[in-house]
Amino acid sequence: MGVFRFSTDAIGTCVVRLQNIVAGSRYRIEVATTGATIADGVAASTTEDVTIDRYASGDAKNDLKIKIRRSSSAPKYQPFETQAQAAAGTVLVWVSQVLDTIVS
């Protein structure tokens, strides 16, 4: 028996791989256009895989904004933001956090 899907439903999942992220950093993946939360958490190591839904090509929900912050304990970093697009398989996101030498 088939499954009926709306055109706005997810068509599968993909893995967003946050590479080079500083362990202990908090990340948040959200829809770039709306800011709706897709996933968030704290990176356990320098590579963090996050599985998220994937939508039909052209769906704005595939446009991702990724926020990474770490400023509660040393070493502290400047806020980092980037964008990516959900796609089949694994989406590699290279994280390039800059040490915050001013914060205390």
Partner 1 sequence: MAYVNFTTLTDWQYDASTKKLKHNTGSTRITVNALYSEIMDEFDNAGQMDDSIPMSAQTPTEYTLVNGWTFDSDSDPGYLYGGSIVVQKATTDRDVWANFYTLGTIESDGVVYWLQNGSLVAAHPGYTSGHIDQLIKVRSGGSLIDSGNVTAYLRNRASGNADLYDNFTGTATATGGRNPIPLASAPDTNDDGSDVSAYTCTLGFAGYTEDVDGDGTAESYAVKVDGQGSYTALQCYRWLKWQCRRENSSDVGNGTQGRFYRYANASYAEVKQSPFGSFAGGKFFGARGVLLTNITDSNNRQLIDSSGASKIPPTTVSITVSGVAVGDRVLVARDDGAGAIDKAQFTLAGAHSAATTVTVNEALGNDIPDSGALRMGDSQFTYTGIVRGSKQFTGVSPALTGSGGAELYQPYIDAVASGTSMSKSFVYAADFDIIARIRKKGIQPFENTATVTSAGAAVSAIRTTDTIVS
Q: Does the protein bind partner 1 through residue 102 (CB under 8 A)?
A: yes
**Residues in 42-81 that interact with partner 1 by CB under 8 A:** 67, 69-72, 76, 78-79
Minimum Å distance from CB 71 to partner 1? 4
* SS3 readout for the chain: CCCCCCCCCCCEEEEEEEECCCCCCEEEEEECCCCCEEEEEECCCCEEEEEEEECCCCCHHHEEEEEEEECCCCCCEEEEEEEEECCCEEEEEECCCCECCCCC
Instruction: Name the site residues for partner 1 (rule: CB under 8 A).
Output: 25-26, 28, 30, 35, 37, 40, 67, 69-72, 76, 78-79, 100, 102-104
